[in-house]
Amino acid sequence: MSSSDLKFISRPTSTLKGTVRVAGDKSISHRSIMLGSLAEGTTKVSGFLEGEDALSTLAAFRAMGVEITDPVNGQLEIKGVGLNGLKQPDAPLDMGNSGTSMRLLTGLLSGQKFDSSLIGDESLSKRPMSRVAAPLSLMGGQINTASEGRPPLQIKGGKYLVGIEYPMPMASAQVKSCILLAGLYAEGETAVIEPAPTRDHTERMLRAFGYEVKTEDARISLRSGGKLIACELDIPADISSATFFMVAACIAEDADLLLEHVGVNPTRDGVITILKLMGADLVLENERMVGGEPVADIRVRSSKLKGIQIPEDQVPLAIDEFPALFIAAACAEGTTVLTGAEELRVKESDRIQVMADGLKVLGIKHKVNPDGIEIQGGQMNGGQIDSHGDHRIAMSFSVAGIRAKKPIEILDCKNVATSFPNFVELANVVGMSIETSND
């Protein structure tokens, strides 16, 4: 079912039980391909997310001459070509729906000797890329964008890059990572100063490949001249994907779910903090380190959630999880208030407005603000929701079906395959009731 009219129909249910390992972490899967390709030697990866976004990254590096085996049950091998071994692709590199691929590759490609261009699907072609083009130009790179700083991107090769110290105007792991990857090719030291902590998968993985990265408070820096050495990577389950099951277990009447091998990186665990503040019965078990990343099993049981003022310091640590958290807020007693989340407006969709539109259909009272939303908990009705092709919106309203009075029909769900190809299958295994339809 790949056509754009794929829809989900989610029906009310009460009991969720079982043990689940959700799809591999998307952010780490992207970076495993990028750094494995630039390493010396063969990198072995397990837990790789075989979703369309990560496969776009894989296809791009194959197009630049890197030998990568087809993923089988999340396992693959990458024959690295070294930092300077990439070859000019024959055609524009298609990033599909993946903003991570486009922004990180822009940094990496700005340091190559060859010209390249990056394109994407309709949704990605609307997303802002000046935020990476601007700092790269300060380093000596040349990135030409379409109107209003949007894709497609033309990247000139053979440019002499110099390291910069860049105070980031807003917290963004993609912008930070883009600059650090360009820094691998820049003269001297490249440093980024973050206004708030963001996910640090790039720094952790560079270190896993033997490359020195310094983190001093909000300043992250590296110097060129090093090399990446192949290693083995076991990618944790994606906390963003696990979030749908965490919220589902919180709002179901009779739930006891164990989510296995979930990445609980401290730059990504805002959703756990926020759910606990709302009163979630959520416990981390078997905490351990795997390939430089902290991992745990997460047990979640039915909970009486209450509305809260979401702490602004948690917003960057949970930025991708807010669509699902909005559903938790809709099922909570009282009002949940989110502020400081302007970044949500420039994701795959304007996630504040699209979620608000869906909550309105379901009869949930709310007030939209420029940087967030206020959601008053209540009884959800059924209805038809337009996901606007945004995978996280589609999955969030699928979870809402658990507590709705009547079925929820969600339109334009094909992009769920970008991050969580077996979402519906796993959801139904633990007791949700979601059917797919292509009519």
320 is catalytic: yes
| Residue 303 contacts residue 281 (beta carbons within 8 Å) | yes
Buried b / exposed e along 212-221 (16+ C-beta atoms within 10 A): ebeeeeeebb
Following DSSP, what letter does each residue of 210-263 receive, concatenated?
A: T---EEETTEEEEESS---B--EEEPPBPHHHHHHHHHHHHHSSEEEEEEEEEE
Token output for 278 = 């709302």
What is the CB neighbour count within 10 angstroms for residue 270? 24
C-alpha torsion sign, points 193, 341, 390, 123: negative
Of 230, 375, 380, the residue nearest 308 (C-alpha) = 375
d(CA 216, CA 243) in angstroms, rounded, equals 30
169 CB-near residues (< 8 Å, 6+ apart) = 131, 195
Spot the catalytic one: 320, 386, 390, 412: 320
Give the Cα separation of 45 and 28 in Å (integer). Answer: 11
Q: Annotated catalytic sites, by residue?
A: 320
